[in-house]
Amino acid sequence: MTATRKGRRSAALSRERIVEAAVELLDSGGESALTFRVLTERLATGPGAIYWHVANKDELLAVATDGVVADALAVGSEQSPAGPEDELRAVALGLYEAIAAHPWLGGQLSRQFTRNGPVVPRIYESIGRRVRALGVPEATWFVTTSVLVHYVLGAAGQNAANSASARTSADGANRADFLDAVSTAWEELDPDEYSFARAIAGQMRDHDDREQFLAGIDLVLAGLRLS
């Protein structure tokens, strides 16, 4: 293949299309489903055309993660332009829903934070700008933003893990069945040793994950107003 033909072929297969196909494979089968062999079959091309754009699977995973997060933050930013508090809620919810929609994303975000990947400053910038706009003292920008980032990713990741566990449960239990079973078990705990756990068991059974997540954001915001 001549250099000219190779260039045309690589240009026809864009980096964006490769990432889009990679995300589709990740969504359908997780990280193990994403191989260059399967990707070349999905794109009806040769491996050389893919390697023209990405060097290896690690780079492809990093680019896919960054792309999904960028889209989530952009959607969140567009949904609520009313003020920094509403924007912060919208951005946080955008990340929450992205992690829920892409079960592989939580693990990749953990890896990115361990390696200081490109997605880390992207998330900090988006949330931190709203923290700054709230009038938080500059000396506490990093701490405040970190609290919000870790809450968002932790809560969203845990929710996604719970959903994935329910989907793959051997007994076919769904979320409602799982929460009912856990709530019932808590209600039967020793009343002296677990008085609080017993008291909230019914609330656990009926709670809404999305509303609970946003309530956590509101608690942080309420604390900022008092500081």
Residue-level pLDDT at 158: 87
pLDDT above 90: percentage of residues in the chain: 66
Kind plus residue range of the DSSP H or E element containing 54: none
Residue-level pLDDT at 179: 87
Structure tokens belonging to residue 25: 């494979």
Residue-level pLDDT at 171: 60
First to last CA, the chain: 65
Residue-level pLDDT at 47: 84
Distance separating alpha carbons of residues 90 and 94, to the nearest angstrom: 6
**166-190: pLDDT as tens digits:** 666 656 567 788 889 999 999 999 9
Domains of the chain, with CATH numbers? 83-226 (1.10.357.10)
DSSP 8-state assignment for residue 44: T
Structure tokens belonging to residue 144: 């405040």
Ranges of residues in the chain with a pLDDT under 70 are 1-12, 75-81, 164-173
**76-102: pLDDT as tens digits:** 555 555 789 999 999 999 999 999 999
Query: pTM for the whole thing?
Result: 0.83
